[in-house]
Structure 1
Amino acid sequence: MLRKKEDLFFLSVMIVTFMIGFDTTGLGVAIPDIAVRLGFGIKEGTWLSISYTAGFAAFLLPAGIITDKTGYRLTLLSSLSVFVLSSVYSTYCETLTEFTTIRLIQGISAAFLNTSAMALLNVLYPVVGPRNRAGAFKKWSMFLGLSFALGPILGSLIVSYLSWGWIMLINIPLSLVVLFPFVGSTAMETLKKGALGQVSLTSTLPATIILLSITMNPYFNQTFSGLGRHLFYAIIIACLIALGSLHLFSSKSFTRLPELKNGNFLISLLLPIFFSISYWSLFVTLPGYITVKFNYSPMIVMTSMLCLSIPLTLIPVFTLQDKLKLNAMSGFVFIALGLLALAYLFNTNVKHQGLLLDITLFIMGCGAAILNPIMARVVMDNVAPENSGLAAAITSTLRQMGFAVGVAFYSLMTDSSISNGLNISESHAFIASSILPLIALSICIYLNKRSQLLSKAH
């Protein structure tokens, strides 16, 4: 009976993961319809996606603290309620500002959902235990990939045959499935506070404000032009000073956590950043690159992008990783080779470019399918089980940070209209980013002495 209950909890974690990912990509295809209804431009409508991501990234650390303080059950259930209510309310919004605000709130609740769900997964499958931890994180990776892969497709079908509002309302039946195993059960509550439960929530607020300000600054300047750039810089400087002061004078600052004194833990923090820069950021930048370079239609571009994401589902479903004995080294090599192949395709004109592009993206997707569960584990394996909130919050924050850095790198460095003095071609950008998987490979070889990341297939 206990095993069955744990399997239901695991199913809840997987559905939460799907909901968070689907709401990241699914609404994008509906922006033209929403823009017509609410009377704003499609370009301005992109803030509906950015505000969600901004709220998600900025509040991950506070979410980790609250998860460790209050327990996974209360955090997950309360954040799920806010997530669903904001989804429903968004279908009644009448202005872009109202909708953007609601999406920001939904992204914040997604941060709490993510940390509580990942912490619960870490407790269900501890580092030392009889259950298959590696297999569990593979399935988590599959659901994450499924949400990204199906987001645009399912969103397009919903818009075509129903209405865009059902992209948000689908969260209602999904949330009921998530709630089912929690009814009358407290089995998965934490027994003691983790590291984040011992630190001050206030100490994370400067970092939260910095992330939120940087991400949403263009929107605030566009909507509230009176604020000005000087106020933005003043806020950033004040928050940096506050972070430094809290570190020096407060023993409960999150920057003084004992895990941050662990060399292996600190080194492992680089891996999610490098992985997001070299892979996840391509989901935003690559469609534009492909459209300009190859002059493809939106449908063909979407098909090519599916080649990049569908292996995240196929590899775990058919257990190809174990059958072909693919390990972390294979994953990093696949992504590095894929980036070099992209550099070649964008630099020369060859026959069958479309086919070669799809094959290249599929190879990179296979590499990501191998690495994605490992990137989630490599940080979490370096903390105690009671500090799951810490690991989940930091892993997700760094993943989002790498995502933002990658998008900025690919977008700004290759934009000739921006006088940054560092303009490079798309081909050179791919070559430069191919170095990161190789650096990450070196880091994993070092960490392998402790976590055995490369000694066997995962």
Structure 2
Amino acid sequence: MRKWWPLVAVCLGTFMFLLDTTVLSVALPDIGERLSTSLSALQWVANIYTLVLAVLMLTMGALVDRFGTRTVYVAGLMVFGIASLICGLAPNAGVLVTARAVQGIGGAAMAVTTFALIGAFYRGPDMGRAMGAFGAVTGLAAAVGPILGGILTQYLSWRAVFFLNIPLVAVTVALSLRVLAPGRQSAGTRIDLPGMITFALCAGSLTYAVTSAGEEGWTSPTVLSLLALTALALVVFARVELRSPAPLLDVRLFARASFSAVMMCVVASTAAFAALVYTSVWLQSGLGLGPVRAGLALMPLALASFATSLISGRRLHGKSPRAILATGLLLSGIGCALQSGLDTGSSAGSLAAGLAVTGVGVGLMGPTMGAAVFAALPPERGGMAAGAMTTFRQLGQTLAVAAFGILFQQSGTALPEALNQVLIAAAAAGIIGSVLACIFVPKPAAATASVPARRDLTGSR
């Protein structure tokens, strides 16, 4: 039993990191009401966290090489815990959004060290068991998140969603310091600060532009200025990375059609989860459900995803990622399409079948997404592939929430119609992603066998 304590420490942090996202989706309407917050501000409560994750994932990989896995993991836990306390005490939306940004810093540090820590302690059959347990924990976090968020919000307060993290952080930090080895450090590791700054500017201005477009319109001076800044920052970022001896992201990789297409598949895979933010708004503001009943209404997706990921991770291991990823994206899109068609007579049960189909798709995509990304590049670029995948996943979800917010706001007070537009857009994203996977995802014989080395899995070089 002693050898499994490091896995317990890693899984505790991962559970908390993922739970914080799924729990919040149910709590957002109550946050908006209690803090008298607009929909655009609520978007930032969700978006700022994933945006910071996207911006810092690649940079944190370099910090892991510089300071060691345990140091970065424990530091991330402590930052996450302090930020959670501030979130729970936030008197207004501005403080909450700021604290969520800090929480994202801690979350990025936790996320990039996960696989490296597992790889440091387990080999052979033990690695398979460890990854199986890790997959079950990630599925469990998705499954219990909506209902736990509903219970905490309805019977305590939305603030309890954040306060829950504090004892979890304390236990995880204490256990990590006791059972995790410090990890290898490299004082010569360079941090690409210009790349980090220009990428943050590009991603932040684009997200702000899309979010602002919902209220001000695409032709407003503010939005046009932000889009121009986005384009300028992107050009500068590309030039910086091309010249850097240790780039955050080798932009030459996007010359490969397979790599670019797989990154678009990663972005498409986030659409169904982004739509849940607005599904929760409709369930609570449109149907008048309490947070607990709203959380229960979302359970078909979580349970189907959990069950499918457990089965597919074991049964489909070693199979070509092309067909699995294409099927998962297609089912995710079909499920979103089945959820649409809502009207004033629709109930929470109208979503159940579509949510379950989407959940099956999500469960298929989860275990195979990494294999698809690694198949698009030579094995020696595994670290870069892992970093790009996590970055595009977080950035994709951030932009999807912002873009869906525009569709949702354009329909005024007609909530069923507004949600229908969001769900149709999410369905289109899934189906387009499925087509891209069918055409571009390679299927080499060693696609799923080429698991990156421990250092690569941090997303660093």
Pick aligned residue for 1:166 from 153, 160, 166: 160
Q: Aligned match of 2:107 in 110, 115, 119?
A: 110
Q: Number of residue pairs matched? A: 432
Q: Deviations over 1:303-348 (max 9, x none)?
A: 443211222323456x476469996535642542453465467469
Are 2:230 and 1:236 equivalent residues in the alignment? yes
Match of 2:455 in 1: none
Q: 1:447 aligns with which of 443, 446, 457?
A: 443
Would the alpha carbon gap of residues 60 and 348 (structure 1) be closer, same or farther in structure 2, given more than 3 Å must change? closer
* Preserved contact between residue 64 and residue 392 of structure 1 (Cα < 8 Å): no
Work out the CA distance in 1 between the residues paired with 2:17 and 2:222. 33
Tell me the CA shift for residue 16 of structure 1.
1.6
Out of 191, 200, 204, the position equivalent to 1:208 is 200
Report the CA distance between 1:185 and its aligned residue: 5.5
What's the % identity of the aligned pairs?
A: 21
Contact 1:115–1:392 under 8 Å retained in 2:
no
**Contact map agreement 2:47 2:401 (CA 8 A) in 1:** no
- SS of match in other structure, 1:121: helix
Alpha-carbon distance in structure 2 between the residues aligned to 1:210 and 1:231: 12
CA contact (8 A) 2:79 2:105 kept: no
- Distance in 2, matches of 1:409 and 1:111, equals 23
Distance 1:186 1:428 in 2: 44
Mapping of residues 238-387 of structure 1, within 5 Å: 238-256=232-250, 268-277=262-271, 279-286=272-279, 298=289, 302-315=295-308, 319=311, 322=314, 329-330=323-324, 332-333=326-327, 335-337=329-331, 339-340=333-334, 342-343=336-337, 346=340, 357-379=351-373
Please give the alpha-carbon distance, in whole angstroms, between the structure 2 residues aligned to 1:373 and 1:339: 18
1:397, CA displacement in angstroms?
Answer: 0.8
TM-superposed CA distance for 1:85, in Å, is 0.9
Please, which runs of 5 or more residues in structure 1 have no aligned partner? 454-458
1:93 to 90, 97, 119: 90
Asked if 2 retains the 8 angstrom alpha-carbon contact of 1:17 and 1:114, the reply is yes
Query: 1:20 Cα shift?
Result: 1.6
5+ residue gaps, structure 2, are 215-220, 413-419, 450-461
Quick one: structure 1 residues 95 and 158, their matched pair in 2 at CA, closer, same or farther if it must change by over 3 Å? same
What is the rounded CA distance, in whole Å, between the counterparts of 1:386 and 1:187 in structure 2? 26
Supply the distance in 1 between the matched residues of 2:119 and 2:308 (Cα, whole angstroms): 22
Q: Are the equivalent residues in 2 in contact too, given 1:72–1:188 (CA < 8 A)?
A: yes
Q: Aligned partners of 1:221, 1:428: CA distance in 2, in Å?
A: 17
RMSD value over aligned CA atoms? 4.5
Q: How does 1:166-185 map to 2 (within 5 A)?
A: 166-184=160-178
Query: Could you list the per-position Cα deviations for residues 283-315 of structure 1 after superposition, in whole angstroms to 9, with x for gaps in the alignment?
Result: 3355568899xx755466644432112223234
Counterpart in the other structure of 2:457: none
In the other structure, the counterpart of 1:456 is: none
